[in-house]
């Protein structure tokens, strides 16, 4: 399902659909990026992107009462860091959300995906065998 066979190396973690999993996600990310020559700003940006994508899946994908898992793979290919989020929740493509008008309508969603789009180089969504697969790529030499 996740095609990272060209990656130099990759790491994986499985989370459950609870917001308390944020801390495990942050630790996973910090450990993974430790071996790369990335800036503090790059670490922060990817942490924010990861948090927003996890929150999107928990909030919009899984029903709040349903138990679910989220598989996250971080793969490094040259200076590209690619993160893939896979879940088995209802089909949900966050890229289809329109940009928010936050000041005038607080109920409007879309702030998270706007941050994701602004802080990564590429974003891709696909529905694959009852799974949502969302991939972002960010180059640390840009």
Q: Judged by CB under 8 A, which stretch of 1-9, 42-50, 89-97, 120-128 contacts other proteins?
A: 42-50
Out of 15, 112, 136, 140, the only residue in the binding site for other proteins (CB under 8 A) is 112
Q: Give backbone dihedrals phi and psi of 37, rounded to 5 degrees, phi first.
A: -80, 60
39 touches other proteins by CB under 8 A: no
Binding to other proteins (CB under 8 A) within 64-103 occurs at: 100, 102-103
CB burial of 61-82 (b: ≥16 within 10 Å; e: otherwise) equals bbeeeeebebbbbbbbeeebbb
Is-contact 51 25, C-beta < 8 A? Answer: yes
Cβ-based nearer residue to other proteins, 40 or 129: 40
Binding to other proteins (CB under 8 A) within 117-136 occurs at: 118-119
Which residues lie across from 69 on neighbouring strands?
16
Cβ-based nearer residue to other proteins, 11 or 18: 18
16 touches other proteins by CB under 8 A: no
Q: Specify the 3-state DSSP secondary structure of 50.
A: helix
Alpha-carbon separation of residue 24 from 56, 70, 133 (angstroms): 17, 12, 20
Name the site residues for other proteins (rule: CB under 8 A).
19-20, 22-23, 26, 41, 44, 47-48, 51-52, 54-55, 58-59, 100, 102-103, 106, 111-112, 114-115, 118-119
């Amino acid at each position: 399902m996740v095609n990272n066979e060209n990656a130099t190396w990759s790491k994986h973690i499985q989370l459950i659909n609870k917001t308390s999993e944020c801390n495990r996600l942050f630790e996973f990310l910090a450990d993974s990026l430790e071996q790369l020559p990335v800036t503090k700003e790059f670490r922060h940006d990817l942490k924010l992107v990861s948090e927003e994508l996890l929150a999107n899946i928990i909030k919009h994908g899984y029903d709040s009462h349903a138990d679910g898992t989220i598989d996250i793979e971080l793969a490094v290919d040259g200076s590209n860091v690619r993160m893939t989020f896979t879940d088995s929740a209802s089909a949900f493509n966050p890229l289809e959300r329109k940009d928010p008008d936050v000041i005038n309508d607080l109920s409007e969603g879309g702030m998270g995906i706007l941050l994701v789009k602004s802080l990564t180089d590429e974003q891709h969504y696909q529905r694959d065998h009852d799974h949502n697969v969302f991939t972002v790529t960010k180059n640390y030499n840009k």
